Amino acid sequence: MAEVSFSVWFITGCSTGFGRELAKLTLDRGWPTVVTARDKSRVADLTDGRDNALALDLDVTDMDQTGKAVRAAEEKFGRIDVLVNNAGYGYQAAIEEGEEDEIRAMFDANVFGLFAMTRAVLPGMRSRRKGHIINITSLAGFMGLPGSGYYAATKHAVEGFSDALSLEAGPLGIKVTCVEPGPFRTDWAGRSLKQTPGRIADYAETAGARMAATSGYSGRQPGDPVRAGEAMIAATEAEEAPRHLVLGAFAYQNVTKKLKERLAQIELWEEISLSADFPS
């Protein structure tokens, strides 16, 4: 039997931003692609008239809908080779001013929805001993920023989950990549970002200032979402897929700086760290 030369993609959150641009790229290459959104009519312009496309309604916080979407994809195309967990959104507030309902709703989408999607595709990938799971996190998966503590917590959770998944599923032929973008020129700040306005003056120069800057930055970010999509495709085609794919100069500079600072601090406290064990 001839080796299959293309991958079947399943992308969540395709109505806007990274998901939409990536779906355009895979579809234009002729690759079978499952294009999802909470309301699939919002992606009809991407999929109508294409034999290689399947548009599905998908709210990743709905466990029943998640399972149905994966089954529909496998019935249509026979398998899922690449899952892109892109669906999610941001929420900004000072830590002290965060609202419980908003925090939990974001965790449901960014964390528990991603977990559920991953669990749903793993049986098929495991049976074939092949697959690639791409989790869209953020530079916030490496560092917290004022006003984005709860958002960073969701992305840190996905990074830790992905580390463990890579160790469990890697020996079974399943690759795991976290994509960690900085600011990209999508409508994320306009459509996919919620905020709780600050009321405590003590946080005006930290959380408040960053929240104001974020909401006023939309449309001027340096990152190109089309190039980001090309980078994700390149990651799936690489013989050694990256475990981390940091995108954009802002993210690269800040992530590498943060990791160097963290290592330096850990090494500075090496003696105290090692002293915590029982004497040998």
- Catalytically active residues are 151
Backbone φ and ψ for 239, nearest 5 degrees, come out as -65, -40
CA gap 210, 143 in Å, rounded: 15
Please answer whether residues 38 and 57 qualify as being in contact, where contact means their C-beta atoms are separated by less than 8 angstroms. Answer: yes
Amino acid at 152: A
Rounded Cα distance between 220 and 142, Å, is 23
* Interhelix angle 100-107/149-169, nearest 10 degrees: 20
The residue among 3, 34, 37, 7 whose CA lies nearest residue 125 is 7
CB 80 within 8 A of CB 34: yes
Q: Measured in Å, how far apart are the chain's first and last C-alpha atoms?
A: 59
User: How long, in residues, is the chain?
Assistant: 280
Q: Which residue in this structure is represented by tokens 């080796």? A: 3
Q: Where are the alpha helices (DSSP H) in 37-175?
A: 44-47, 63-77, 100-107, 113-128, 149-169
